[in-house]
Structure 1
Amino acid sequence: MNNNKMTNYRWYVCAMLFFATTVNYLDRQVLSLTWKDFISPEFGWTDVHYGTITGCFSFVYSIAMFFAGRTVDYLGIKKGYSWAIALWSLGACLHAFCGIATAGIVLDSWSMTFSGAREHIEIARNAGTAMMGISTVSMWLFLIARCILASGEAGNFPCANKTISAYFPQKDRAFATSLFNSGSQIGAMLAPFTIPVIARYWGWEMSFLIIGLLGFVWLGIWLKTYDAPDNNKRMNKLELDYIRQDENKAENETKPTEEPKEKVNIFKYFTYRHTWAIFASRFLPEGVWWFFLFWAPAYVKDIYGYSSDSFMGMMLIFTLYLITMLSIIGGYLPTFLVNKKGLSPFGGRISSMFVYSLFPLLGIVAPFLGVHSCWYPIIIIGIIGAAHQSWSANAYSLVSDLFPKSVVATLTGLAGMVGGLGSFLFNQGSGILFTYSRESNMSFLGFEGIQAGYMIVFLVASIAYILSWFAVKSLTSDIKK
């Protein structure tokens, strides 16, 4: 190893986090891309069934985020991440067997194959028997698998955020976070071209199974190659010194919460204004992001009639998440403001978040433009997604800005719990709203039926970020420039 030239192992670590996040979002997307065209016709689901499943996923995810953060702080990064991805990959694979279990429980027709279970359910559906039982039992079985998936996936961002804080100096964390966080967009971009195709030709069950197995592949590579900075033989002293540069400076000028000399009760952090600032950065924005993640394929089908496995449907969803890749550029904004404009790391972050909060306001006009072409709302949703991912990268970095490293994963988990609760309310409420808007043919701002329901959601999503920014700004007003 050449000790005169700094190694770049930290970017390998960032790449591993990127691939983990890609797999994480592929696993989440399987249901959203298969339920409307494949699963719902088989089991007789409505928007309420799907809203309940996505809402409960968000709720369990939010609770698990708290425990995930505490667990990662206790186990450490390598073990914590290993348990997280193993659990969520298992949960992803279990979705594939929900059809077999439904046919066995409701119809007492146990099958050893996916196609056999589908045939039993189809016979019952054609005969008009046991459909309520099939829809209810299948929903609960998917809920169980979804809860296992959520429990594991909740560990991804606490693990990744703690890894970034260990491997990158403060000024580079938002950019590194935006890079690994772009895995969510890549996963979402790959999903429409892979998952519906697998579901069409090999069955929706195989789409869950194949995507779920990718996590176990990542796990094997992670266990073999990852080491903590102090024990890492793949990096030299120059890189280690670069990573630790903040420890040689008065970095705590923007950290009113000092490194605890003894273990602090978790409830103590609820007494800090900065904890609530972190919560405010996640509650509303997470609900918006997860809504578009879970409901975008349904939006395309409900409003424009394109199925998830049609070429047009694939291109619309792909384009949406391709646009969100702009967040990689947006993630560099805090670094630019620090290096070029002389702002403090926190000052650069809060200024950047204000810029990001303005772009979602475009969502107010998306349904009106959508009357002329389906591409207008898709492009606007993509812009909102890019703004969210840029916002999210800085929201994650707020934790390490405001609190010591020893509690980064715990507070990331707490913030994720708050974000998950916001997402639960957003998704559950959306499912109820869409069912009501269909049945009552409600009117809102010139739209009727399901279109009126989506207009309401777009309106709420558009103002969520600017409201969150004002809350964060007010709760961190004591931070000195």
Structure 2
Amino acid sequence: MEPISAPPTGRYRWRVCAMLLAATTINYIDRQVLGVLAPFLQQQIGWNEVEYGYIVTAFQAAYAIGLLCAGAVIDRFGTRIGYAIAIGIWSLAAMSHALAAGVVGFALARFALGLGEAGNFPAAIKTVAEWFPRRERALAVGIFNSGSNIGAVVAPLLVPVVAATLGWQAAFLFTGLLSATWLVVWLKWYRTPEQQPRLGAGELALIRSDPPEPSVRLPWRRLLRHRQTWAFVAAKFITDPIWWFFLFWLPKFLHAQYGLSLLELGPPLIVIFVMADIGSITGGWLAGRLIHRGWPVNAARKGAMAVCALAVVPIVFAAHADHLWVAVALIGLATAGHQGWSANVLTLPSDLFPRPAVASVVGIGGFAGAVSGMMIATFIGFLLQATGSYVPVFLMAGSAYLLALGVVHLLVPRLAPAQVDASAS
């Protein structure tokens, strides 16, 4: 008698991951348009470094406020509706930049964009928790998180051409229409695994193969009692501002340091963010590979995070690089390290908390990262206005990740899941 083979599990969950990848890509195209155009809008409109810092801070402030609400809203209404609300807001906000004529107008548009974009990562990570077994989550997060780098690559490819051909307003309108198109597809197509008729029984069994998780909704006051929450908060607070710096100041750094024009910015930015894209997928793959080889989750996750943290350290030399492409290589390695780090950090909530609490924990951590980003954006604006030097910023970037890893290990030395008392909810 021939052995009975296991039924095929299917790959529908990876289609869901592709949708998350598309949303994250569009999210970062929308937010990156201003960064690409900043050196030239600054000349055209006349804002100084401090005022540009305030514009960036407006986005960060709204992002922080949005994250206070986004996780709880998504946990309450589900990923389908919660994601739709978020992307509807940021689509309109992206297009509203075309109406801005000064610092106040751009600050208001950025504030609205931050409110909407705050919903992307809580919704995407909760979707991963719904659609993937624990052992595949880091890879799934790494794949969709790579959209942040794809978006950062696409933006310098498209934005300068659109702006040079049709005007800078058209660049904001075009990216807003991309997110509106995604929204229509999402509402028509997305359902949870149990409600998706195209999902096979074998794949559904794989998705639900982990031990049952308690079906409780934890209020924030209870989440904040757990060291696991504070570990995630600390990781985001310490390292998120570095990524914001990459997004909003790299074009200005390259323009100021090497005199690049709008069209010349494209190739170095593309190389930097392609490297970041590779880092995102590699960081998630590395942790999953170590787990597959028998490493405990704690050692695999932190080992991958340590490798990524060390990759960022050489950026301390970027401000003194004599050649453009030496600086690009150092910065690209750092962005790769950050994104590999993020692929693992963003998996921590689903490692440490039951599924109903994941989006709320991500929202709390994202809020911490956005508040820290606000502080750094204002600081960088005043620093550059006063000194014109990027050296202190690169020194801060090079040390942030090892510091964050130390804090995470101190708070959760074994990555033990939070002990949830369902009867207390």
Partner of 2:57: 55
Equivalent pair of 2:139/2:285 in contact (CA under 8 Å): yes
1:329 maps to 2:265: no
2:311 aligned partner: 359
Aligned to 2:138: 174
Q: 1:8 to 1:479 in 2, by over 3 A?
A: closer
Structure 2 counterpart of 1:244, which letter?
A: R
1:282 matches 2:285: no
Q: Give the alignment's Cα RMSD to 1 decimal.
A: 1.5
Deviation string, structure 1 residues 143-179 (Cα, Å, up to 9, x no partner) = 1111111111000000000000000111110110000
Asked if 2 retains the 8 angstrom alpha-carbon contact of 1:300 and 1:307, the reply is: no
The answer (yes or no) to whether the contact 1:182–1:389 under 8 Å persists in 2 is yes
> What is the aligned partner in structure 2 of residue 110 from structure 1?
none
Q: How far apart, in 2, do the equivalents of 1:266 and 1:193 lie?
A: 41
Q: Does 2:81 match 1:79? A: yes
Structure 2 residue aligned with 1:124: none
- Which of 434, 450, 462 aligns to 2:398? It is 462
2:346 corresponds to:
396
Q: 1:230 aligns with which of 194, 207, 211?
A: 194
Residue 218 (structure 1) aligns with: 182
Aligned to 2:251: 297
Q: Which residue, out of 5, 29, 43, partners 2:8? A: 5
Contact 1:297 1:308 in 2 (8 A): no
User: How far apart are the structure 2 equivalents of 1:479 and 1:175?
Assistant: 18
Of 97, 109, 120, 1:156 maps to: 120
SS at structure 2 position matched to 1:281: helix
Question: Aligned pair 1:70/2:72, yes or no?
Answer: yes
1:416-466 per-position Cα deviation (integer Å, ceiling 9, x unaligned): 0001111111221111100001xxxxxxxxxxxx2xx20110000000000
Partner of 1:93: 95
Q: How does 1:262-281 map onto structure 2 within 5 Å? A: 263-281=217-235
> Does the alignment pair 1:421 with 2:378?
no
Looking at structure 1, the residues matched to 23 and 367 of structure 2 have their Cα atoms a distance apart, in angstroms, of 20
Structure 1 residue 260 displacement after superposition: 6.4
The letter of the residue matching 1:456 is: P
TM-score, scaled to structure 2? 0.94
Output the CA distance in 2 between the equivalents of 1:208 and 1:55.
19
> Is this contact kept in 2: 1:362–1:380, CA < 8 A?
yes
8 Å contact from structure 1 (residues 282, 418) kept in 2: yes
Q: Matched residues in 1 for 2:414 and 2:183: separation? A: 42
Give the Cα–Cα distance (whole angstroms) in 2 for the partners of residues 56 and 426 of structure 1: 12
Distance apart, 1:364 and its partner CA = 1.6
Contact 2:86 2:116 in 1 (8 A): yes
Q: Alignment length, in residue pairs?
A: 411
Write the letter of the residue equivalent to 2:291: V
Q: CA deviation at 1:304?
A: 0.6
The answer to whether the aligner puts 1:346 opposite 2:310 as a matched pair is no
Runs of at least 4 residues of structure 1 off by over 6 A?
none
Tell me, in whole angstroms, the C-alpha distance in 1 between the residues paired with 2:297 and 2:126: 18
Residue 480 (structure 1) shift: 6.0
Question: Residues 288-337 of structure 1, C-alpha deviation per residue, up to 9 Å, x if partnerless?
Answer: 01101111110011111102223xx2111111111112221222011111
Q: CA deviation at 1:403?
A: 0.9
> Does the Cα contact within 8 Å between 1:89 and 1:212 map onto a contact in 2?
yes
Q: Say if 1:32 and 1:169 are closer, same or farther in 2 by CA, change over 3 A.
A: same
Q: For the residues of structure 2 that align with 1:195 and 1:302, how far apart are their CA atoms?
A: 19
Cα distance, 1:413 vs structure 2: 0.4
Amino acid at match of 1:236: G
SS of residue paired to 1:325: helix
In the aligned structure 2, how far is the partner of 1:265 from the partner of 1:74? 11
AA matched with 2:148:
S
Q: Work out whether 1:33 is the aligned partner of 2:36.
A: yes
| Correspondence for 2:147 | 183
> SS at the partner of 2:390?
helix
1:200 is displaced (CA, Å) by 1.2
CA contact (8 A) 2:240 2:370 kept: yes
Question: Hey, what does 2:108 align to over in structure 1?
Answer: 144
Separation (CA, whole Å) in 2 of partners of 1:353 and 1:412:
18
Alignment partner, residue 444 of structure 1: none
CA distance in 2, matches of 1:62, 1:184: 18
TM-score by length of 1: 0.83
Opposite residue 353 of structure 2, the aligned amino acid is F
Q: Do the aligned residues in 2 keep the contact of 1:360 with 1:462 (CA within 8 Å)? A: yes
Query: Partner residue of 1:445?
Result: none
Question: What secondary structure is seen at the aligned counterpart in 2 of 1:477?
Answer: coil
Where in structure 1 are there 5+ consecutive unaligned residues?
Answer: 100-137, 253-258, 438-449
Matched to 1:457, the amino acid is: V
| Structure 2 spans left out of the alignment, 5+ residues | 1-5, 418-425
Q: Which moved more, 1:54-63 or 1:174-183?
A: 54-63
CA distance in 2, matches of 1:359, 1:479: 23
Deviation at 1:347, TM superposition (A): 2.9
> SS where residue 9 of structure 2 aligns?
coil
